[in-house]
Structure 1
Amino acid sequence: MAERGASFRRDLSEWRIALVAWRLLVLQAAHPVVGAGMAEHSTYQAHPWRRVEHTLGSGRRLFYQDADALRREVARLDRAHKRIRGTAPDGRPYDAGDAATRAWVLLTLFECVVAMRRLGGDPYDAGQLELVYAEFTGAVAAFGLPEGELPGTAAELPGYFARVAREQLEFNEATRYLLNDILRGAPRPRRLRFLGDAGWRAVRGVVARAVTALTVADLPPVVRERFGLVRTRRAALLSWLLHRGAGAVVPLLPDGLRFRSPDEQRVPPRWRPPRQDARGPRLDRFFREVLDQTGDGFITVHDLRAMAHNVCWQLELDDEGEARVYRAFDGWWEQLRSAMDANGDGRVSREEFVAATVAGCDRDPAYLEQGLLPALRAVFTAADSDGSGFLEADEYRVVFGGPRVHPAELSHGFRQLDVDGDGRITREEFLHGFTEFFTARADSTPGTQLLGRP
């Protein structure tokens, strides 16, 4: 364990890590393999805050918890990354399982914690740096990277970063979009819910400019040189004020305010008044908040596979369980495509989805059996971790406890689906609730509240 004042896992859990979070994403995305994978497989453009949360949350699970939690997180990452492979538009093959790429992604996390301390005015000294690097490498040994992929000592890190930056990093489309465009159209972060959507739209341009300036100012000089980016005096001043201010204030806070737990509960969504004619608006909301993972106004096979990925990620399934979920979601996509993709372009718009779903449910009582319900059966089977045939409250929480759902909403939704009130949800109750969500005309029906109270 590192000495007092030099603990990697503790520093990673400080709230001021948020100041270098965007810097971390840019450094990772600039690697050609990561950039290609993000372009083809990631939903970061529509869900930037989820991308940040997944990256930092995974880091905390790797370094903040016990050996069993570490093992599960490594297995989860292995399962997710084995599906991220293909050929980039320029013809280069990419594979997220590549050892050198994984080493880069892991080391950027370490380097950003080091940068956070340095920029905050309390850098590690040489001895502390070696201690925290030993703490870091001890945890990432669970990835089984080949010998030599990670620098042997912290003193070798500057040379490693300079070499990768000059020889491999690219100012690719993912990097450009992260720096220049993504925040200008980003959805409101849940922690700024008090602004409302209109308030967020009014300030996000300022936020976008500030984040871009801060990120460019904080990037390693060798990376700025590689990308042709200029650190302006104004950006340098902004960086100094934010980092030094956080470095002075955050360490003085009590632990409950200073550190963020990996299992931190989520804040509640903004409640909306009920609507009279609820089916169309409810399906529209389902499309926007659940189906359209990329946020481009359409759903494609990639959106359904991103949903399957998120289910598997939360549940930590084995290979067979993951394959079952992916097959079910691929089947759901085929049903959506054949019923709704009239022009054959491989995508379905929000308007097409709502109209076709309403018409299909009105026309055929078994309409949902053609795609949605088989996918939900696969989710239920996967979530039923003990094979009891029921979803207990903790199993339900794993599936539905996403960033938009407060624990109180989770409990409410669980009670609504638990029709007989026995404290557990049967497969029939689970499927019946989703059927009500898609078919009920009024929001008073229990199953219509799967996304929280309307």
Structure 2
Amino acid sequence: MADRGASFRRDLSEWRIALVAWRLLVLQAADPVVSAGMAEHSTYRAHPWRRVEHTLGSGRRLFYQDEETLRREIARLERAHKRIRGAGPDGRPYDAGDAATRAWVLLTLFECVVAMRRLGGDPYDAQELELAYAEFRGAVAAFGLPGGEIPGTAGELSAYFARYARERLEFTEAARYLLGDLLREAPRPRRLRFLGDAGWRAVRLVVAAVIRELTVADLPPAVRERLGLVRTRRAALLSAVLHRGAGAVVPRLPDRLRYRSPEPARPKRRHPKRSHPRRDGRGPRLDRFFREVLDQTGDGSITVHDLRAMAHNVCWQLELDEAGEARVYEAFDSWWEQLRAVMDADGDGRVSREEFVAATLAGCDRDEAYLERGLLPALRAVFAAADTDGSGFLEFDEYRAVFGGPRVHPAELSHGFRRLDTDGDGRITREEFLAGFTGFFTARADSVPGTELLGRA
């Protein structure tokens, strides 16, 4: 009986959860509070795959790990949600601490696991469903949500979803974007790096069509009706083929292939090729830094929200305590103020790619005083943000948390770290960081160590 009660945990870590991952995001984004928070505080446009990983990864920490991991994850979510509040584009206030919204987000995770089993042809029976839901509620109780927000039994979930869809859900801008343009614009996942940009652009069109059709087909009927979406026969057939195929194959795999490990595997290191000097590589380097590091929301400009999204991602990966998170957010806010003060030429509170590149090139070319007036204070703020434990050094995990991304291969990032670590002691001092990063922004040739802090271009 105990083993059956743990089935929800196992199913959450099964690889076929990927088939309902986009469905999960759409269900959550259809809540206006979630949508408003995503618009200003999320990196889902530029890093959609990271958003999926964070959502599922958080679920695994909540339901798959021990009580201490559960406690830390809830504390981390509480700290993150305190910062997600404001007014949406339509003027309506939103607050991620809203109890009804938090309950909805949690329950969509459970419902998607149930849907995965049902669509795959191996649904929970009534007893298994109640046992799985009791396990789920046991973890959710640690959030301290008001009584009545979480249905008492699994049998009440159908009515809850229908009511919530009717009273709260909307076809929000975030939900529309998830089902539309995002899928056609999504960056290449790291695992598909071998396709190259041209190959991924071709594959992406097919992926976009498949994910959209599958997601619409799999949404609960009450949600489809509320959002005005139609489940076509073609979509229904696609859903049946994919889910039934996965349901027939995946459960028969050995556990090491069937389930995803809670801990991500360390990337293998590769020996880098030699870099070749270029005449003036600053423009492409600055453009790449803007796209891959600064523009977290993927809208072509950077604001305080991009820097805070970076801070959130750093804290998320390194699992910092409250004091550590506060230090990281303070440092990233300082970094933003440096960027805004030096580069926001039109005073609109945003720094465009053109403003960033032009201001950096002009400042470096105009006079050396620019370094101390604009660049070096910003770099000191970056170092403070990356140095999450306050040790005065950057370890590789800290470096990766700030400068890693879906478009930067782990081997390239490791190479950049080693290039900055000029004394080879396995950590980067502030002096090494400032010298290397200054070279990234100012060196015309690509042979300076700092020009490869993101790996080779």
Q: Does 2:181 match 1:185?
A: no
Distance 1:382 1:287, change over 3 A: same
Residue 332 of structure 2 corresponds to residue 329 of structure 1? yes
> For 1:107-153, what per-residue CA distance to the aligned partner results, in whole angstroms no more than 9, with x for missing partners?
10010000000000010111111111122122222222223221112
What amino acid does structure 2 have at the position aligned with 1:322? E
- Give 1:202 deviation, angstroms: 1.8
- Give the residue type in structure 1 aligned to 2:223: V
Instruction: Say which of 384, 387, 395 aligns to 1:378.
Output: 384
Check 1:299–1:202 CA distance in 2 against 1; reply closer, same or farther (3 A cut): same
Counterpart of 2:26 in structure 1 is 26
8 Å Cα contact 1:315/1:383 also seen in 2: no
Secondary structure at the residue paired with 1:94? strand
User: Residue 432 of structure 1 aligns to which amino acid in structure 2?
Assistant: A
Aligned amino acid, residue 303 of structure 1: D
Are the counterparts in 1 of residues 387 and 398 from structure 2 also a CA contact under 8 Å? no
Residues 374, 91 of structure 1: alpha-carbon distance in 2 compared, 3 angstrom cutoff: same
Task: Answer yes or no: is 1:284 the counterpart of 2:290.
Answer: no
- Provide the C-alpha distance between the structure 2 equivalents of 1:340 and 1:76, rounded to a whole number of angstroms: 33
Decide which moves more: 304-313 or 284-293.
304-313
Query: For 1:396-441, what per-residue CA distance to the aligned partner results, in whole angstroms no more than 9, with x for missing partners?
Result: 5555555455554454344333322233333322333322322233
Task: Give the whole-Å Cα distance in 2 for the aligned partners of 1:368 and 1:391.
Answer: 22
Asked if the contact 1:2–1:135 (Cα under 8 Å) also holds between the matched residues in 2, the reply is no
**Counterpart of 1:187 in 2: which secondary structure?**
coil
CA offsets, 1:343-387, max 9 Å, x none? Answer: 223222222212211222332242455542232242244244xx4
Summarize the Cα distance change of 1:133–1:187 in structure 2 as closer, same or farther, 3 Å threshold: same
Which one is further off, 235-244 or 175-184?
175-184
1:224 alignment partner AA: R
Amino acid in structure 2 at the alignment position of 1:304: L
1:307 pairs with one of 300, 304, 310: 310
Instruction: Report how far residue 189 of structure 1 moved.
Output: 1.9
From the superposition, tell whether residues 201 and 380 of structure 1 become closer, same or farther in structure 2 (CA, over 3 Å): closer
Structure 2 CA distance for partners of 1:288 and 1:402, relative to 1, 3 Å: closer
In 2: Cα distance, 1:335 partner to 1:397 partner: 22
**Letter of the aligned partner of 2:447 in structure 1?**
S
Distance 1:2 1:444, change over 3 A: farther
Q: 1:98 to 1:168 in 2, by over 3 A?
A: same
Tell me what 1:440 maps to.
Answer: 443
How far apart are the structure 2 equivalents of 1:99 and 1:382?
Answer: 31
Aligned AA (1:130): E
CA distance in 2, matches of 1:261, 1:275: 41
State percent identity of aligned pairs.
80
Query: C-alpha offsets along residues 309-342 of structure 1, whole Å, 9 cap, x if unaligned?
Result: 2223223334444333333333332332232222
Q: Within 2, Cα distance between the matches of 1:100 and 1:269?
A: 45
Is the 1:267–1:404 Cα contact (8 Å) retained in structure 2? Answer: no
Secondary structure of 1:86's aligned partner: strand
Provide the rounded CA distance (Å) in 2 between the counterparts of 1:60 and 1:128.
Answer: 19
Equivalent residue letter for 2:353 = R
Corresponding position of 1:294: 297
1:254-293 aligned at under 5 Å gives the runs: 254-265=254-265, 274=276, 276=278, 277-293=280-296
Alignment of 1:60-99 (within 5 A): 60-99=60-99
Partner of 1:420: 423
Q: TM-score, normalised by structure 1?
A: 0.91
Amino acid at match of 2:262: P
Unaligned runs of 5+ in 1: none
Query: How far apart are residue 184 of structure 1 and its match?
Result: 1.4
1:173 matched to which residue of 2? 173
State the superposition RMSD in angstroms.
2.6
* 3-state SS of paired residue (1:306): helix
Could you say what secondary structure the match of 2:426 adopts?
Answer: coil
Q: Which amino acid aligns with 1:30?
A: A
Give secondary structure in 2 for the equivalent of 1:429.
helix
Partner-residue secondary structure (3-state), 2:447? coil
149 and 342 in structure 1: CA distance in 2 versus 1, 3 angstrom threshold: same
**1:275 and 1:199, CA in 2 relative to 1: closer, same or farther beyond 3 A?**
farther
Q: Which residue of 1 aligns with 2:195?
A: 195
Post-superposition shift, 1:80? 1.2
- Identify if the C-alpha distance between structure 1 residues 88 and 297 changes in structure 2 by more than 3 Å, giving closer, same or farther: closer
What SS class does the counterpart of residue 280 from structure 1 fall into? helix
> Could you say if the C-alpha distance between residues 218 and 59 of structure 1 is closer, same or farther in structure 2, counting changes exceeding 3 Å?
same
**Residue correspondences, number:** 451
Q: Which runs of 5+ in 2 are unaligned?
A: none
Task: Tell me the secondary structure at the aligned position of residue 366 of structure 1.
Answer: helix
Shift of 1:216: 0.7
